[in-house]
């Protein structure tokens, strides 16, 4: 199995991300802006999402998850690499093609504040996304708005309220309703449930799964809550400082965490009933800067298992167990026999 | 079980230890359509050095409770119409706006839920952080600068010197949230209200951030009102936890007791809805129905329309706070039978 075939059920994957990079210039000052260097927000990542599938994306704050989301949403241009929807590159689209892409790929972002127009009643906001994508006549639209409000658990009378009249959690559901409006093929969910209380979060997760079962929509789910990822995602990608460090089917990964960063991540999960004090792996050392990432393995400055060559050689992402990709020198031996073969297959060109 | 007066359990504690005492707080929105009773009779007390968790349904009034205490209500239709907020025995609802400005940031500070609204997009992170530090210390530029760098480093922001020159939009969600946290705690307040300060953080950074807060809190005996949706965070950080539903605190008690013996049906349902790290990944438990409209609240228990145990009594009148254990109260009629 290769990176390309992970999550690929039938023929072409819905979305293919190939060797994607996004560097931001790091400047100082406003008037006489001086470029100090580049933030390697996303640095050579590849993955695929199949139709009807959920890919979970987790990793340290600032590791490039939102940047990846924005690239997929075509809100940012990649510095290098490309993204294909059903085999067609998405960047460089214009006019009708771009409009169609926007209808097919929707988003619910980290902060629902930014995605809602404060001067528009929420029913109108949802209707607006239907009008843009050419959804039937007025009665159809009114009917669809009613249906969407109900789906996300809001009362009909709330359609005539303005965003500021809702709580953070309620606004997040309005954002989901407008994302669902145009019946997209892929929804990028950047922490869609982190602002919700656990009961509404559970409702929302069930709802997302129901909608997926019905419409075969795919999700890219960015989340900090690992239990949420475990419940929602078919595949899971773990990122660290712009790179993918671990990638496998969710069940495979959660059953057998291999990368030292992922281990630290899992050990930091706080449980409501910490009956047995689980060993917490405290990451020593400062959080490295993406402006000047460490040489070799980017995690070596904080890795409790780091070896001498970790600071020199960058470990490639490769299959160390069936269907389980890891970028870490600890698994050099495990990967060695398959290495020559893997090297060619994993890195799509 | 006896019927306790509101706040009896708290009054038993030595009163000199109480730094913040909120009594029967009511904050409403007066709209043309009607009155939104967002905070409707909230009472709790916070001791020096104590962390009180506040959890509850999205939209139940947690943030508004906090904003009412800070006197930072959204402009326009919102008004606190009743109650007392005693900070070291003095009612801060009576203070003039000028006096409030002195109190905020020094005596009582808040980490707002939305980092977007607390950071000014046209100023750099450094300018905003230095301003906050200067207001407290009136120090020299160089010292203020040094402290700003240290404040960012404390919340695990890499390359702090460079980050100071960046604008909010150039930082990730979690970075902004930590900057806001750094600004709020830089004033070393006696009371900190943290409104979901870690929702945008990954779990490793969250853990370090919580440890930092805990350390600061133990050093300075700061009291924290910690608003969160995460029961793991409550278990880790809080001494007591209050559960809020539709404008009211419905259960309050020591964290272990509330988790081991949740007494209000809403608390029970909430705990049952938490997704787990083990076991089945089938459908999650959810609470049927919707919370009531805050404009049209039922006369009885506000959870009754969704409660599996509701009977006549529950529909007829709002239940009083029953004592269910040491410092543990629940507003539920079933507690009389126990
Ligand atoms: N417009 C921008 N200009 C400069 N740097 C940026 C910009 N947007 C993001 N970055 C940088 O890119 C890196 C990755 O940011 P990103 O928002 O993708 O992180 P993230 O993984 O979503 O983090 P979080 O979990 O905190 O939301 C950060 O170092 C951030 O400062
Ligand atoms: N400007 C406003 N006009 C009318 N109602 C409002 C206004 N602002 C907030 N509300 C209502 O007040 C209630 C309380 O909101 P609050 O922000 O305190 O909820 P919360 O408990 O913090 O929720 P969350 O967990 O989602 O942050 C909500 O139901 C909201 O609809
Ligand atoms: S490659 Fe080395 S430093 Fe990197 S995670 Fe593996 S053991 Fe740690
Ligand atoms: Mg992000
Ligand atoms: Mg809130």
Q: Indicate if the pLDDT at residue A22 is higher than 90.
A: yes
Q: Indicate if the pLDDT at residue A66 is higher than 80.
A: yes
pLDDT in tens, A244-298: 999 999 999 999 999 999 999 999 888 777 655 556 777 766 678 777 889 999 9
Q: Which residues contact A215 (CB under 8 A, 6 or more apart)?
A: A183
Residue A291 three-state SS: coil
> Which H helix or E strand runs over A163?
none
- Whether B182 is covered by a domain: the verdict is yes
- Give pLDDT, residue B263: 95
Number of domains present in the structure of chain B: 2
Name beta bridge partners: A244: A239
A15 and A83 Cβ atoms separated by less than 8 Å: yes
Q: Which residues contact B101 (CB under 8 A, 6 or more apart)?
A: none
Closest CA to B111 of B152, B72, B143: B72
3-state SS string for chain B: CCECCCCHHHHCCCHHHEEEEEEEEEEEEECCCCEEEEEEEEEEEEECCCEEEEEECCCCCHHHHHHHHHCCCCCCCEEEEEEEEEECCEEHHHCCHHHHHHHECCCEEEECCCHHHHCCCCCCHHHHHHHHHHHHHCCCHHHHHHHHHHHHHHCCCCCHHHHCCCCHHHCCHHHHHHHHHHHHHCCCCCEEEEECCCCCCCHHHHHHHHHHHHHHHHHHCCEEEEECCCHHHHHHHCCEEEEEECCEEEEEEEHHHHHHCCCCHHHHHHHHCCCCCCCCCCCCCCCCCCCCCCCCCCCCCCCHHHCCCCCHHHHHCCCCCEEEECCEEECCCHHHHC
- Is there a contact between A272 and B287 if contact means CB atoms under 8 Å apart? no
Distances (CA, A) of A343 to A2, A346, B159: 10, 6, 34
Poorest-pLDDT segment among A23-37, A74-88, B89-103: A23-37
Q: For residue B244, what is the nearest residue in chain A, using CA coordinates?
A: A197
Mean pLDDT for the stretch of residues A208-213: 90
- Is there a contact between A269 and B283 if contact means CB atoms under 8 Å apart? no
The ligand 3 atom nearest the CA atom of A309: 2
Q: Indicate if the pLDDT at residue A2 is higher than 50.
A: no
Q: Which residues contact A125 (CB under 8 A, 6 or more apart)?
A: A116, A117, A163, A174, A178
- Give pLDDT, residue A277: 54
Residue A309 three-state SS: helix
The ligand 2 atom nearest the CA atom of B196: 27
Same domain, B9 and B82: yes
> Which residue's C-alpha comes closest to atom 7 of ligand 2?
A165
Tell me which of B188, B208, B223 is where a domain ends: B188
Domain that holds residue B139: 113-188
Same domain, B64 and B18: yes
Mean pLDDT for the stretch of residues A289-309: 90
Same domain, B89 and B122: no
Closest CA to A315 of A254, A248, A244: A244
Same domain, B5 and B75: yes
- Residues with CB under 6 Å of ligand 1 are A 24, 39, 41, 61-67, 290; B 169-175, 200, 202
The rounded distance, in Å, linking the Cα atoms of B307 and B216 is 41
- Give pLDDT, residue A78: 96
- Whether B104 is covered by a domain: the verdict is no
> Which residue's C-alpha comes closest to atom 20 of ligand 2?
B59
| Preferred mutation among B172, B179, B285 to probe A, highest tally of A CBs within 10 A | B172
B170 and B124 Cβ atoms separated by less than 8 Å: no
Tell me which of B188, B207, B222 is where a domain ends: B188
Same domain, B251 and B338: yes
- Give pLDDT, residue A51: 95
Mean pLDDT for the stretch of residues A80-88: 94
Higher pLDDT, A95 or A286: A95
- Give pLDDT, residue B7: 41
> Which residue's C-alpha comes closest to atom 7 of ligand 3?
A306
Sheet containing A243-249: which strands, arranged edge to edge?
A105-108, A186-190, A218-222, A54-59, A235-240, A243-249, A324-326, A318-321
The rounded distance, in Å, linking the Cα atoms of B87 and B106 is 12
Same domain, B143 and B90: no
- Whether B209 is covered by a domain: the verdict is no
Tell me which of B122, B153, B188 is where a domain ends: B188
A29: chain B residues, CB-CB within 8 Å: 165
For ligand 1, mutation pick of A23, A30, A35, A65 (most atoms within 8 Å of CB): A65
Q: For residue A209, what is the nearest residue in chain B, using CA coordinates?
A: B283
Residue B65's CB is within 10 A of a number of other CB atoms, namely 27
Same domain, B44 and B73: yes
Q: Indicate if the pLDDT at residue A227 is higher than 70.
A: yes
- Give pLDDT, residue B15: 53
The ligand 3 atom nearest the CA atom of A259: 5
- Give pLDDT, residue A85: 94
- Give pLDDT, residue B163: 87
- Is there a contact between A269 and B203 if contact means CB atoms under 8 Å apart? yes
Closest CA to A14 of A236, A225, A258, A188: A188
Residue A179 three-state SS: helix
pLDDT in tens, B128-176: 888 888 877 888 888 889 989 988 888 888 888 888 888 988 888 788 8
The rounded distance, in Å, linking the Cα atoms of B5 and A332 is 67
What are the E-state strand segments in A60-134?
80-85, 88-89, 105-108
B205: chain A residues, CB-CB within 8 Å: 60-61, 287
Q: Indicate if the pLDDT at residue A50 is higher than 70.
A: yes
- B contact residues 226-265, partner A, Cβ 8 Å cutoff: 229-236, 259
How many CA atoms within 13 Å lie on the side-chain side of B247?
A: 25
- Whether B219 is covered by a domain: the verdict is no
Same domain, B13 and B84: yes
- Whether B313 is covered by a domain: the verdict is no
- Give pLDDT, residue B291: 83
Q: Indicate if the pLDDT at residue A9 is higher than 60.
A: no
In chain A, pLDDT over 90 holds for what percent of residues?
47
Residue B17's CB is within 10 A of a number of other CB atoms, namely 14
Q: Could you state, in chain order, the average pLDDT of each consecutive group of 10 residues for chain B (338 residues)?
A: 43 67 96 91 95 92 95 90 95 94 89 81 89 83 89 85 88 84 85 90 86 85 94 93 96 95 95 84 81 88 94 94 94 82
Ion ligand 4 residue ranges (Cβ < 5 Å): A 66; B 172-173
- Whether B310 is covered by a domain: the verdict is no
In chain A, pLDDT over 70 holds for what percent of residues?
85
The domains located in chain A, with CATH, are 3-255 (3.40.50.300), 257-349 (no CATH)
- Whether B210 is covered by a domain: the verdict is no
- Give pLDDT, residue A84: 96
- Residues with CB under 6 Å of ligand 2 are A 164-169, 197; B 29, 31, 36, 38, 58-64, 74, 77, 113, 294
- Is there a contact between B200 and A202 if contact means CB atoms under 8 Å apart? no
Same domain, B182 and B138: yes
Q: For residue B273, what is the nearest residue in chain A, using CA coordinates?
A: A199
- The shortest CB-CB distance from B235 to any of A60, A191, A270 is to A270
Q: For residue B115, what is the nearest residue in chain A, using CA coordinates?
A: A111
- Whether B83 is covered by a domain: the verdict is yes
pLDDT in tens, A111-123: 656 667 888 899 9
- Is there a contact between B170 and A60 if contact means CB atoms under 8 Å apart? no
Total count of residues recorded for chain B: 338
CATH code of the domain in which B78 resides = 3.40.50.300
For ligand 1, mutation pick of A67, A69, A76, A291 (most atoms within 8 Å of CB): A67
Distance A225 CA to ligand 5 centre (A): 18
- Give pLDDT, residue A323: 93
Closest CA to A72 of A22, A133, A3: A22
Q: Indicate if the pLDDT at residue A63 is higher than 50.
A: yes
A248 and A325 Cβ atoms separated by less than 8 Å: yes
Q: Indicate if the pLDDT at residue A49 is higher than 90.
A: yes
- Give pLDDT, residue B284: 85
A186 and A221 Cβ atoms separated by less than 8 Å: no
Higher pLDDT, A32 or B22: B22
B196: chain A residues, CB-CB within 8 Å: 168, 195
- B contact residues 111-170, partner A, Cβ 8 Å cutoff: 113-114, 116-117, 153, 156-159, 162, 165, 170
- Give pLDDT, residue A75: 92
Mean pLDDT for the stretch of residues A179-192: 90
């Amino acid at each position: 199995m290769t990176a390309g075939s992970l999550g690929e059920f039938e023929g072409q994957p819905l979305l293919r991300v190939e060797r994607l990079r996004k560097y931001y210039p790091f400047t100082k000052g406003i008037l006489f802006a001086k470029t100090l260097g580049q933030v390697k927000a996303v640095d050579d990542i590849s993955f695929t999402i199949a139709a009807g599938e959920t890919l979970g994306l987790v990793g340290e704050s600032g590791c490039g998850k939102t940047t990846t989301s924005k690239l997929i949403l075509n809100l940012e241009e990649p510095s290098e690499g490309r993204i294909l929807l059903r085999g067609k590159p998405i960047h460089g689209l214009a006019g009708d093609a771009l409009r169609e892409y926007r209808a097919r790929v929707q988003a619910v972002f980290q902060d629902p504040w930014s995605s809602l127009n404060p001067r528009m009643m929420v029913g109108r906001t949802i209707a607006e996304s239907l009008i843009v994508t050419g959804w039937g006549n007025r009665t159809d639209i009114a009917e669809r708005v009613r249906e969407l409000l109900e789906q996300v658990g809001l009362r009909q009378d709330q359609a005539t309220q303005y965003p500021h009249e809702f709580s953070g959690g309620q606004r997040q559901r309005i954002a989901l309703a407008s994302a669902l409006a145009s019946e997209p093929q892929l929804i990028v969910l950047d922490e869609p449930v982190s602002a919700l209380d656990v009961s509404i979060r559970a409702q929302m997760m069930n709802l997302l799964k129901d909608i997926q079962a019905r419409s075969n929509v795919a999700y890219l789910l960015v989340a900090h809550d690992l239990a949420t990822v475990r419940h929602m995602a078919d595949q899971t990608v773990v990122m660290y400082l712009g790179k993918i460090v671990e990638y496998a089917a969710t069940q495979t990964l959660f059953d057998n965490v291999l990368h030292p960063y992922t281990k630290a991540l899992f050990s930091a999960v706080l449980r409501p009933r910490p009956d047995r004090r689980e060993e917490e792996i405290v990451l020593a050392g400062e959080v490295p800067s993406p402006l000047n990432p460490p040489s070799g393995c980017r995690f070596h400055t904080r890795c409790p298992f780091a070896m001498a060559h970790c600071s020199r050689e960058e470990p490639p992402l490769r299959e160390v167990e069936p269907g389980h990709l890891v970028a870490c020198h600890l698994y050099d031996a495990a990967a060695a026999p398959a290495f020559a073969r893997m090297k060619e297959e994993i890195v799509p060109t | 079980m006896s019927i306790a007066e509101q706040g009896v359990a708290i009054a038993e504690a030595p009163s000199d230890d109480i730094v913040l005492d909120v009594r029967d707080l009511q904050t409403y929105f007066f709209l043309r359509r009607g009155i939104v009773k967002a905070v409707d009779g909230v009472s709790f007390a916070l001791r020096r050095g104590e962390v009180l968790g506040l959890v509850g349904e999205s939209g139940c009034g947690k943030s508004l409770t906090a904003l009412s205490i800070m006197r930072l209500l959204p402009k326009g239709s919102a008004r606190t119409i009743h109650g007392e907020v005693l900070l070291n025995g003095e009612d801060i609802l009576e203070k003039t706006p000028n006096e409030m400005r002195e109190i905020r940031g020094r005596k009582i500070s808040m980490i707002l839920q939305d980092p977007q609204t607390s950071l000014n997009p046209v100023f750099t992170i450094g300018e905003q952080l230095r301003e906050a530090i200067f207001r407290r210390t009136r120090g020299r530029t160089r010292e203020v600068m040094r402290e700003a760098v240290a404040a960012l480093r404390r919340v695990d922001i890499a390359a702090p010197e460079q980050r100071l020159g960046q604008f909010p939009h150039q930082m990730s969600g979690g970075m902004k949230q930590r900057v806001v946290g750094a600004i709020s705690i830089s004033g070393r307040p006696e009371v900190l209200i943290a409104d979901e300060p870690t929702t945008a953080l990954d779990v490793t950074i969250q853990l370090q951030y919580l440890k930092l807060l805990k350390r600061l809190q133990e050093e300075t005996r700061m009291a924290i009102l910690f608003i969160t949706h995460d029961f793991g965070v409550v278990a880790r950080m809080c001494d007591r936890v209050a559960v809020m539903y539709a404008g009211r605190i419905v259960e309050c008690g020591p964290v272990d007791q509330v988790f081991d013996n949740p007494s209000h049906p809403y608390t029970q349902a909430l705990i049952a809805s938490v997704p787990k790290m083990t076991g089945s990944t089938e459908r999650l438990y959810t609470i049927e129905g919707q919370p009531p409209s805050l404009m049209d609240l039922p006369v009885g228990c506000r959870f009754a329309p969704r409660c599996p145990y509701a009977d006549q009594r529950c529909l007829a009148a709002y239940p009083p706070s029953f004592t269910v254990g040491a410092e543990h109260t629940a507003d539920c009629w079933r507690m009389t039978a126990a």
